[in-house]
Amino acid sequence: MKLYCLSSDAAKPCFVLSFKELLIMLDCGLSAHSVLNFLPLPPVPSTRLASLPNYTPPHLNDPLLEGELKECCGRVFVDSIPEFCPPLDKVVDFSQLDVILISNYTCMMALPFITEDTGFKGQVYATEPTLQIGRFYLEELAEWVSGAAGSAAGAARRWKELLHVLPAPLAHAARPRSWRRLFAPAALARALARVRVVGYDERVDVYGALDATAVSSGFCLGSANWVLRSAHEKVAYVSGSSTLTTHPRPINQAALRGADLLVLAALTQTPAHNPDHMLGDLCVHAAVTLRGGGSVLLPVYPSGVLYDLLECLSAHLDGAGLASVPLYVLSPVADSSLAYSNILAEWVSVGKQARVYLPEEPFPHAALVRAGRLKHARALHDDAFSADFRQPCVVFCGHPSLRFGAAVHLVELWASNPAHAIIFTEPDFPYLDALAPFQPLAMKAFHCPIDTSLNYSQANKLVRELRPRELALPEQYAAPGPGAPPRPHIACDAPVVVLRRGLARACGARRGLARGWLSAALAARVAPRDVRAGLRAAPLAAALRVRDRRVSLDDAPPGAPGAARRPPPRLELAAPDVDALVRALAREGVADARVERGADGCIVHLPRHDTLVHVERHATHVFCEGDAGVRQALRRAIAACMPHV
């Protein structure tokens, strides 16, 4: 069993497990940190961004670099359509992948890079909410990028060859030559069409070699941990899990216990921030800003924490006497996301499931829409949104990186007014880096990251309770090396395999057994006999076949070795019975045998023939100085009293 790591971002994992002659990809997360090196793509042309000065490294005159770099407040950005960092494609041939298992919608954004134009022919499995909400994420991103592609600068490539002369942080960009633009909408649709939907606790047969089961992880709607089980091995993949009580169904720990290998990934990105405290701080900052006459901008994804924010913030504003403040959600998929979340009763917590039978919607945002307090629109220029827009207000829109979407225009619009505020809740991006292209900034900025996935204390407790025989985790979660400063890490009593991007590590127990199937024709001829209590055995001559990882025993084809019918072989099972051996020797004419019993077995002494037979539990030794007739008699006697089938 081997485990390949294809991502350097532990929060957006991508592993490939070589297990029972199968290549199984666990998640395909897309690292978006690279987009912070690019200028934003405004939905409305921005005079300020267009007028930023070009940057040229000192003592370098390269005409190919002209116009690729812009400078803003001492920081250099690439003036091009932002690019992403997909999983490494040089370690594993994607065309050889047999199956892709997706744990949640935040870890499937790189799916088109795996399945399109690579020769991929395998299966992709995910839960229904993961597929649908992942579709929302990809469609939203694709619409923003494709909408800005016509007005943005062409592909900038020359700067990637000159990192050594560029200023930080651009000089520290990790492997920019492997960065790629997002696929076109048609390619995204083809990739998503490959996904096959599974439910919680549904067993999926993977080419007859093993079963894959998705179990609830408690992180978000439809999020799952995967359990891979063969006849003799068990592998558990824990990614993006949570033990907190939020809107998804709680984590199922029982299914993960006792694994031969536990792969752990996607722990919290903000271990120093408590989600409950951050949510409280967010509500306070929003209320103070609104009371001062300012508006609040929250750059968020179109699903996930958005549902909790709408529920908690609306209730807090009601209690603060700000019930008249409108809430806006701006996204190309806002309508679909808000509507879809209220038809997922089987995927939410018990408390929200109970509301369905009242009947009420699991989430309160449907009631907010009916009351006219929550409004949603596809874009800023929608007529309905423009007609109803009033301030002060709270606006939820994307993208959290501030490189795409309506958030770019609203930051440009409100940046010079200190009454307004922007509150960052998504943990994927450092908020100061996200704001860098908009400096100088007068509006207030607050960082309230809400990440409900496991922190290090919760993860250590979970590992102790699951008791795996071996643990595999990214190097970011492993104990620091000698001389390194102390930091939070995962500790385990079992052996730990540390994973690093681009490396393959052997892990898991070496497989020694496999389950096979006996053909009906052979089974009809078998005559088993009792060996001991609960065990029956019989000799068998058959052809061993392995096809699609399925082992079977069949009749040998005509002309093949062993095809002709002949008596089955005689198979001895244990040491001979000493008393039966003495009687068999007597029948052969050797009647003077003496038996000496000891702790390590029995010795049968034949003094007339200068012969000793030492019978142990696992071996029988014959010391014979007699003639050939004695040796033949010994052979026949021992064979007659050996337990056999």
The three-state DSSP-derived secondary structure of 365-420 is HHHHHHCCCEEEECCCCCHHHHHHCCCCCEEEECCCCCCCCHHHHHHHHHCCCCCC
Q: pTM, whole model, 2 decimals?
A: 0.82
Structure tokens, 36: 């912070």
Name the residue range of residue 383's domain. 275-447
- pLDDT value of position 515: 79
Q: Identify whether residues 239 and 114 lie together within a single domain.
A: yes
Has residue 211 been placed in a domain?
Answer: yes
Which residue(s) pair with 314 in the sheet?
Answer: none
Whether the pLDDT of residue 304 is over 70: the answer is yes
DSSP secondary structure letters along 315-349: HHHHHTT-TTS-EEEE-TTHHHHHHHHTT-GGGB-
Report, as an integer, the average pLDDT of 499-509.
86
CA–CA distance, 109 with 84 (Å, rounded to integer)? 10
CA–CA distance, 424 with 434 (Å, rounded to integer)? 10
Number of residues written out for the chain? 645
CA–CA distance, 52 with 209 (Å, rounded to integer)? 58
421 neighbors 445 (Cβ within 8 angstroms): yes
List, in order, residues 6 or more apart from 628 with CB less than 8 Å away: none
List, in order, residues 6 or more apart from 520 with CB less than 8 Å away: none
Q: Identify whether residues 300 and 403 lie together within a single domain.
A: yes
Q: Which of 431, 447, 463 is the last residue of a domain?
A: 447
Q: Identify whether residues 214 and 362 lie together within a single domain.
A: no
- pLDDT value of position 384: 77
* Angstrom distances, CA of residue 41 to CA of 141, 180, 435, 438, 456: 12, 16, 14, 12, 36
CA–CA distance, 551 with 542 (Å, rounded to integer)? 12
Q: Identify whether residues 347 and 219 lie together within a single domain.
A: no
Report how far Cα 550 is from the mean position of its chain's Cα atoms: 26
CA–CA distance, 378 with 333 (Å, rounded to integer)? 7
Q: Identify whether residues 464 and 592 lie together within a single domain.
A: no
Q: What angle do CA 445, 449, 451 make, to 5 degrees?
A: 165
Dihedral (C-alpha) 300, 301, 304, 307: value to the nearest 10 degrees?
A: 50
Look at 561 and 1; give whichever has higher pLDDT. 1
Q: What is the pLDDT of residues 423-470, one digit of tens each?
A: 999 999 999 999 999 989 999 999 999 999 999 999 999 999 999 999
Q: Identify whether residues 111 and 240 lie together within a single domain.
A: yes
Block residue for tokens 């722990």: 267
> Which helix (DSSP H) or strand (DSSP E) does residue 584 occupy?
helix 578-587
Q: Identify whether residues 296 and 355 lie together within a single domain.
A: yes
Q: What is the pLDDT of residues 252-266, one digit of tens each?
A: 999 999 999 999 999
77 neighbors 34 (Cβ within 8 angstroms): no
Q: Which of 497, 471, 134, 73 is nearest to 303 (CA)?
A: 134
Has residue 166 been placed in a domain?
Answer: no
Q: What is the pLDDT of residues 231-260, one digit of tens each?
A: 888 999 999 899 887 777 889 999 999 999
DSSP secondary structure letters along 93-144: -GGG--EEE--SGGG-TTHHHHHSSS---SEEEEEHHHHHHHHHHHHHHHHH
Total Cβ atoms within 10 A of residue 337: 25
Share of the chain above pLDDT 70, in %: 91
- pLDDT value of position 59: 82
Say if residue 266 is exposed, middle or buried (CB neighbours under 10 Å; 0-12, 13-18, 19+): buried
Block residue for tokens 């490294």: 57
CA–CA distance, 70 with 60 (Å, rounded to integer)? 16
Has residue 107 been placed in a domain?
Answer: yes
Q: Identify whether residues 591 and 481 lie together within a single domain.
A: no
The contacts found for 216-219 with CB under 8 angstroms, 24 or more apart, are 216/248, 216/249, 216/250, 216/251, 216/252, 217/103, 217/104, 217/241, 217/242, 217/248, 217/251, 217/252, 218/242, 218/243, 218/244, 218/246, 218/248, 218/249, 218/250, 218/251, 219/104, 219/248, 219/452, 219/453
Q: Identify whether residues 237 and 340 lie together within a single domain.
A: no
- pLDDT value of position 35: 93
The sign of the torsion formed by the CA atoms of 608, 609, 614, 615 equals: negative
- Can you list the positions of beta strands (E) in 230-351? 234-239, 261-265, 296-299, 327-330
Has residue 615 been placed in a domain?
Answer: yes
Q: Which of 447, 478, 495 is the last residue of a domain?
A: 447
Block residue for tokens 């001991």: 532
3-state secondary structure of 533: coil
pLDDT band at 277 (very low <50, low <70, confident <90, very high): very high
CA–CA distance, 390 with 325 (Å, rounded to integer)? 9
Has residue 157 been placed in a domain?
Answer: no
Whether the pLDDT of residue 147 is over 60: the answer is yes
Counting the structural domains of the chain, the total is: 4
DSSP secondary structure letters along 130-162: HHHHHHHHHHHHHHHHHHHHTTS-----GGGG-
298 neighbors 447 (Cβ within 8 angstroms): no
Has residue 70 been placed in a domain?
Answer: no
Share of the chain above pLDDT 90, in %: 45
Question: Average pLDDT, whole number, for the chain?
Answer: 86
pLDDT band at 359 (very low <50, low <70, confident <90, very high): low
| CATH number for the domain harbouring residue 609 | 3.30.310
52 neighbors 12 (Cβ within 8 angstroms): no
Has residue 614 been placed in a domain?
Answer: yes
Has residue 319 been placed in a domain?
Answer: yes
CA–CA distance, 253 with 220 (Å, rounded to integer)? 16
Q: Identify whether residues 294 and 431 lie together within a single domain.
A: yes
Q: What is the pLDDT of residues 87-118, one digit of tens each?
A: 998 899 999 999 999 999 999 999 999 999 89
CA–CA distance, 541 with 538 (Å, rounded to integer)? 10
| DSSP 8-state secondary structure symbol assigned to residue 36 | G
Q: Which of 283, 600, 321, 271 is nearest to 421 (CA)?
A: 283
* Angstrom distances, CA of residue 119 to CA of 25, 99, 113, 183: 15, 13, 11, 16
232 neighbors 259 (Cβ within 8 angstroms): no
Task: Report residue 159: phi and psi, to 5°.
Answer: -60, -25
CA–CA distance, 262 with 17 (Å, rounded to integer)? 12
Q: Identify whether residues 343 and 288 lie together within a single domain.
A: yes
Whether the pLDDT of residue 358 is over 60: the answer is no
**Angle formed by the axes of helices 578-587 and 628-641, nearest 10°:** 130
Q: Which of 466, 481, 505 is the last residue of a domain?
A: 505
| DSSP 8-state secondary structure symbol assigned to residue 558 | T
Q: What is the pLDDT of residues 318-352, one digit of tens each?
A: 999 999 999 999 988 888 877 776 666 666 666 66
Whether the pLDDT of residue 152 is over 60: the answer is no
DSSP secondary structure letters along 173-191: -S-GGG-BPPPPHHHHHHH
Q: Identify whether residues 188 and 209 lie together within a single domain.
A: yes
127 neighbors 135 (Cβ within 8 angstroms): no
pLDDT band at 593 (very low <50, low <70, confident <90, very high): confident
- pLDDT value of position 527: 78
